[in-house]
Structure 1
């Protein structure tokens, strides 16, 4: 039997289930209970990753097939269903178009702002190179960087903290079934777009590609609902899709469209949604997501061609263009595959180091840098330090390269080099990260010396690690690619110098590409989707096999030491995230041992006052209630006949759907699904609904509104089996019954997510209101 550590748990009275105290695990297991009082977390638990937050609710990915739903489906004609299917395609097309348009605006804004900044700083450096006073150039560079980053940090920290970071962990959680507050709001999108422009223009070690995934998801969530609560606009269009199930599918399409716009990789975008996010998938959904991805990359390509005054020249499919890798010039041989695998292992080790350092840095920020003003100051400090380090590296570098007609540097900086030469270190630092990656991939051999690449890799590694997690909108994709491209090119240079005929087969650009894939894979641990993204972005399928081997190796090596960066940040947010499979040693746990019990249930016809009291009780903030039929007057448990949600009860109370016992006549107001859709997704709190004393004495018939066929399992069902039901069906509540179909407990996402494999076997996390 598997080991289990000392159980430390909270009272589950704040869980989203209808349960009370937890049942004990096994006979003989030591249990220590804490109550959630004013002090919050116990002193024995120093970090958030050891908690499971009760503030995150689940999404209702399982449709409630109540009488209203079935009646609406029966009334709908065949033509009506066809119109709905056409509407889904139209929505996906709009998602792709708007996502591509946003990506185009971000790209143009970043290129122009960064271009002006680098031009001003370059002119200033050249002015003071001969006459002295380069400290003024350093101050100018640092001030410009800090000013851009200050704007980006202020709007994130004070106006919309949900726009911080890349947003990929939040979208992963949303598609997993977790309701993350404000993650798909219009305000979040506006702040995300403005913030990422400021972050990249401010010279931080970040990229604009990661936030595009979050931006596409927000666009999808808004367009598919035909309304905006931020603008207080309801266009009454697409209102049929106002439920979590439909919204989830469109958010998957939006995330894929964001990847496609970022990398010009529509197939990679589809695979990203499949690998990293979506918990539900079918063939028709695949086609719609691919359609959104194609529209996204085409829109970006089309508008950039107009902006570049080359209408119809569709040569810029994504925000980052790796450039074309021709097979003849950089082909690889069979004997190089072991070298690629070694590079994958190196990427896994460096990625693990990056994640561990960022983990401890994030813990420090959670403890000490939690006020908005401190977060803005930290972001400005990082921006100023980045500028200072970049300037120092350029200033002390003596790597001078000839400036020939085949050079494609946008801002070649001469500094102390001779006439007709430029400082090679400036190529790496004095540019946007995307242009630096392309230079490392395609500059001819001899463009960089080993010392330059070594110093750049070391400094940029720590700058990127420090930067990720700041209160700014930024991604980690491009910094990871840039770090890997630098040490990969260094590896290629060393191979060329120490092996016979190495200058012929060890092309540095080829190894820069492999190093970039290895580093990114070692940090984010993506395999399938990242392989296709890299192949599509380079336009050369020849590299598919080596990139796949590199990513698999990086993942295996990195996972041995620490989780991927996104998984770390999900855990630090205490999100009840469900992975693909239950913990390997959890078969001996049953539903009876993990469920919440006792359960708050309602009768089929319940007193209004009872419902109001249950919903108003702050210590039982439950969101799902089994509906039961009493077996006997003396029996506390009844047979389950349905399940009703808090949100449904709120709508019923709001519309006064009461049964009036007057003159022996039962009358009840007729509701439609439209009434529930109008309240979606932010249902009013119970405190805002007034129920008079006379109304409290009325009754409410739940028969028409409850889900009469909820999923149930016997109490002896194993944890992995319960886990599969939750993961595959997108459940929020699972009723546990005994042999006579009487309710004995309720399993929710948090009941499952608190079990994980640790160093000492199966461990149970605490539940706390964080």
Structure 2
């Protein structure tokens, strides 16, 4: 169960009663936790802290209200003229048994110009928010520009160096020179095998460095990060995932990973490091330091800016944040996302990292329009996009499961072998060796003019050869994406998917060219094979992410190919139909489920089999009576439980719910009493949570007190307390100013579909459950997710059978793969030993005789 709802140990004080109702809970929770294999569905629930959006919204509104109207209250310290204890200390008056309700007057003089002061305060408050967005956009744009420059230089370093400046990449070094001659660029060697060797060495070095940085300094920097960012924005906080160290290591490791040549992209990690910026910069301002409401808005805006700078697509970034990141998007958040994206892209353009003067990675201009008879081929590309997304997502998850089971202790070694394998098979293939954006620039290009590439050959035999080569490239790229994505380096999947789609699309384009050479008017080229590469890239991107509108806009901002809006919509429509029919959601959503992250997916249809809240609630509660407990009993209670809050009931015999108190306030009280001189005496004092006077004012009309008492079904003793507002509370400690009265409660017969909709729309942390006006349980946001998993996974016999059979086959297959990898490791170790022996490095031979696992363990401890 959640930490908020851990059971109280048996044998606790009898006056601390539990509200009990119909106990469906014991059955499903016992069945859920009975088998350890079920923990895979919730394995990271404990890492996330649930945010109560209702409480946070109220707190933020009260803060703004107080700031806005403080000029009208310059002579009064509190709006209600009541002294309220701060969250960081307990008033001395409350400890001494006095409820301080006197007005505390301010010695400051009233404002002379309250209207002007109010306007200035409102302006400064609004200006601060836009200042943070501006700083975020500038920071994200600067990071993106430096990443582009560093990745390009490291990528060129694998082939050689520039004599005019070691810091220049090949493109800048040879700027102004003819393409086939560049005297300032010096390759590491002119021999093919040595160039091949240097390429592999540098690729491996870059990849291992990135893996080492992630393992040593910030494990959270590995992977994409989009799944976790979605969960955080939706209301589940993950401490440390968006910190300064993650930002630093992500920013350094990402260009190293791109330069290593692994089939991973920078777009997913761009969202992650942008979210880190959106989390870290606002914390420099006291107003936003502890405001989850603003934090969610800033994270959404930063995510949009991250996609904007990655694809040079500001509007596409905003649409991405709407479709993918935010689960409950607001109009104000969209405007902030737009502004942050605008600033980030403008900063990137000012840096001009490509020295082309444009923010589009590759400008595409198609002179000819598309034809109606091409629609069947567009449909083929759409089918490919859907199939690509389903296959890659399915087998990538299997690869991740294998990685977690066998390779989790050897992240650096795994990345080393991945880099070596990728470099070996990529070097001899132009479209695998080149950076993926460069290869797509070639594939998207229209033949003619200054563009002279083998793809533009008019010979049918050349087109067939290129078609076969590109088809093989597509298959290899898919395989590399499956085994590389989610390894322990910063990595994304957007651009690799686009690259795979572009090669397949170009194949279709070449086939269409060969099938319809005479369908065009003489002198005009009506079939543009590059446009099919463009459409294939869009299809694969949509297939792996399940995005539609955002992909359309991103592709057109990325390339500028505005004539192909309708073909792109046709392709993505087919892709979406394939995904909706046979897919399981985008790769980010599937990783949320696989990694056991808490997330309410608004796009998913939730079926609870007509279950009511009584089936999923927790009915083992620790309820505190309104009065009658001593401070010592409360202190013992805190030591025995991990509850974050405690419901307040009328008495042990009457479970009518009055409110609840947070654990931190009780801890502050006990801690403040411990430092007093007479703490032993104070620990035996009574704690009054709700005074008789407050009980009496539960009804606005005093004449309705008897009706209220009847509704609460008070016994004689409780009724006497309820009616006698002037009862002497003696030396009691009063905490009623810390009681929360505005909470949500539902009837026990409410359906879980309605409760889930409430959790999604309102964002409350939990709801209390009542039966005939009496408290019987509580249901948290995490618990309803667990119960849904229980219904669809644990109780589904067909799923259990499928899972057990699949698990058995997966274990057999994984063991064979692991044995094969161990064999490869031993053979490679023997080969290195022979090479070193031949070269005379005897001392290194002794190290080679060490066990491979010991070496891997040594790397892990670095």
Same fold (TM over 0.5): yes
Contact in 2 for aligned 1:61/1:732 (Cα 8 Å): yes
Aligned to 1:102: 143
Aligned to 1:196: 254
Aligned to 2:297: 249
Residue by residue over 1:46-100, the C-alpha shift from the partner in whole angstroms, topping out at 9 and shown as x without a partner, is x824767444321232235789974773353343344222211111111111111
> Are 2:396 and 1:358 equivalent residues in the alignment?
yes
Contact in 2 for aligned 1:91/1:224 (Cα 8 Å): yes
1:247 to 1:68, Cα distance in 2 relative to 1, 3 A: closer
Q: What does 1:418-433 align with in structure 2 at a 5 Å threshold?
A: 425-426=429-430, 428-433=431-436
Instruction: Name the CA distance, whole Å, in 1 between partners of 2:652 and 2:792.
Output: 46
207, 217, 221: which is aligned to 1:163? 221
1:64 to 1:526, Cα distance in 2 relative to 1, 3 A: closer
Aligned to 1:586: 608
> Are 2:313 and 1:265 equivalent residues in the alignment?
yes
How far 1:32 moved relative to its partner?
8.2
1:735 to 1:257, Cα distance in 2 relative to 1, 3 A: same
Contact in 2 for aligned 1:604/1:702 (Cα 8 Å): no
- State the SS of the aligned residue for 2:223: coil
Q: What does 1:550-629 align with in structure 2 at a 5 Å threshold?
A: 550-559=571-580, 560-580=582-602, 583-586=605-608, 588-603=610-625, 607-617=630-640, 620-626=641-647, 628-629=648-649
Aligned to 1:404: none
> Are 2:395 and 1:376 equivalent residues in the alignment?
no
Aligned to 2:783: 751
Instruction: Name the CA distance, whole Å, in 1 between partners of 2:52 and 2:527.
Output: 54
Aligned to 2:697: none
TM-score under structure 1 normalisation?
0.77
- State the SS of the aligned residue for 1:63: helix
Aligned to 1:634: 653
Aligned to 1:436: 439
Aligned to 1:523: 544
Number of residue pairs the alignment of both structures matches: 653
How far 1:138 moved relative to its partner?
2.7
- State the SS of the aligned residue for 1:285: helix
> Are 2:494 and 1:477 equivalent residues in the alignment?
yes
Instruction: Name the CA distance, whole Å, in 2 between partners of 1:276 and 1:702.
Output: 44
Instruction: Name the CA distance, whole Å, in 1 between partners of 2:300 and 2:60.
Output: 28
Instruction: Name the CA distance, whole Å, in 2 between partners of 1:240 and 1:652.
Output: 27
Aligned to 2:202: 144
Aligned to 1:128: 191
752, 768, 780: which is aligned to 1:719? 752
275, 278, 286: which is aligned to 2:323? 275
> Are 2:454 and 1:447 equivalent residues in the alignment?
yes
Instruction: Name the CA distance, whole Å, in 2 between partners of 1:733 and 1:575.
Output: 18
- State the SS of the aligned residue for 1:91: helix
Aligned to 1:209: 267
Residue by residue over 1:332-357, the C-alpha shift from the partner in whole angstroms, topping out at 9 and shown as x without a partner, is 22333342222111111122111111
Contact in 2 for aligned 1:145/1:384 (Cα 8 Å): yes
1:96 to 1:68, Cα distance in 2 relative to 1, 3 A: closer
Aligned to 2:175: none
How far 1:180 moved relative to its partner?
2.5
295, 310, 316: which is aligned to 2:359? 316
Instruction: Name the CA distance, whole Å, in 2 between partners of 1:431 and 1:761.
Output: 50
Residue by residue over 1:414-471, the C-alpha shift from the partner in whole angstroms, topping out at 9 and shown as x without a partner, is xxxxxxxxxxx42x13322121121211163763311221221111111111110100
1:65 to 1:158, Cα distance in 2 relative to 1, 3 A: closer
Residue by residue over 1:206-252, the C-alpha shift from the partner in whole angstroms, topping out at 9 and shown as x without a partner, is 112221111111111111121xxxxxxxxxx3435522122111111
- State the SS of the aligned residue for 1:625: strand
Aligned to 2:110: none
Contact in 1 for aligned 2:203/2:423 (Cα 8 Å): yes
Aligned to 2:556: 535
- State the SS of the aligned residue for 2:769: strand
User: Higher helix share goes to which structure?
Assistant: 2
Structure having greater relative contact order (Cα 8 Å, sep ≥ 6): 1
> Are 2:365 and 1:325 equivalent residues in the alignment?
yes
Contact in 2 for aligned 1:66/1:706 (Cα 8 Å): no
Contact in 1 for aligned 2:607/2:753 (Cα 8 Å): no
1:341 to 1:68, Cα distance in 2 relative to 1, 3 A: closer
Instruction: Name the CA distance, whole Å, in 2 between partners of 1:502 and 1:759.
Output: 55
Instruction: Name the CA distance, whole Å, in 1 between partners of 2:382 and 2:561.
Output: 20
How far 1:761 moved relative to its partner?
8.8
- State the SS of the aligned residue for 2:30: strand
TM-score under structure 2 normalisation?
0.69
Instruction: Name the CA distance, whole Å, in 1 between partners of 2:604 and 2:778.
Output: 18
The runs of 5 or more residues in structure 2 that have no matched partner are 9-17, 70-117, 162-169, 171-184, 456-465, 690-730, 801-862
> Are 2:765 and 1:732 equivalent residues in the alignment?
yes
Contact in 1 for aligned 2:214/2:222 (Cα 8 Å): yes
Out of 47-56 and 289-298, give the one that drifted further.
47-56
1:655 to 1:584, Cα distance in 2 relative to 1, 3 A: same
Residue by residue over 1:534-572, the C-alpha shift from the partner in whole angstroms, topping out at 9 and shown as x without a partner, is 122122443333323322322331341433211221112
Residue by residue over 1:582-641, the C-alpha shift from the partner in whole angstroms, topping out at 9 and shown as x without a partner, is 744326111111111122234556654444444443xx4333433x231x4423x24132
- State the SS of the aligned residue for 1:206: coil
1:287 to 1:665, Cα distance in 2 relative to 1, 3 A: same
Instruction: Name the CA distance, whole Å, in 2 between partners of 1:347 and 1:493.
Output: 18
1:664 to 1:68, Cα distance in 2 relative to 1, 3 A: farther
- State the SS of the aligned residue for 1:62: helix
> Are 2:4 and 1:16 equivalent residues in the alignment?
yes
Out of 651-660 and 508-517, give the one that drifted further.
651-660
Contact in 2 for aligned 1:19/1:746 (Cα 8 Å): no
- State the SS of the aligned residue for 1:505: coil
User: Higher strand share goes to which structure?
Assistant: 1
> Are 2:30 and 1:33 equivalent residues in the alignment?
yes
How far 1:655 moved relative to its partner?
6.0
1:333 to 1:645, Cα distance in 2 relative to 1, 3 A: farther
Aligned to 2:78: none
Instruction: Name the CA distance, whole Å, in 1 between partners of 2:688 and 2:3.
Output: 35
Contact in 2 for aligned 1:19/1:598 (Cα 8 Å): yes
Aligned to 1:223: 281
Instruction: Name the CA distance, whole Å, in 2 between partners of 1:23 and 1:534.
Output: 56
Instruction: Name the CA distance, whole Å, in 1 between partners of 2:378 and 2:359.
Output: 29
Aligned to 1:495: 512
How far 1:181 moved relative to its partner?
3.6
Contact in 2 for aligned 1:495/1:502 (Cα 8 Å): no
**Which structure would you say has the larger Rg?**
2
Aligned to 1:703: 736
Q: What does 1:501-512 align with in structure 2 at a 5 Å threshold?
A: 501=518, 504-512=525-533
1:633 to 1:464, Cα distance in 2 relative to 1, 3 A: closer
Instruction: Name the CA distance, whole Å, in 2 between partners of 1:607 and 1:269.
Output: 56
Instruction: Name the CA distance, whole Å, in 2 between partners of 1:294 and 1:181.
Output: 29
Instruction: Name the CA distance, whole Å, in 2 between partners of 1:588 and 1:217.
Output: 38
1:567 to 1:71, Cα distance in 2 relative to 1, 3 A: closer
1:241 to 1:544, Cα distance in 2 relative to 1, 3 A: farther
How far 1:664 moved relative to its partner?
11
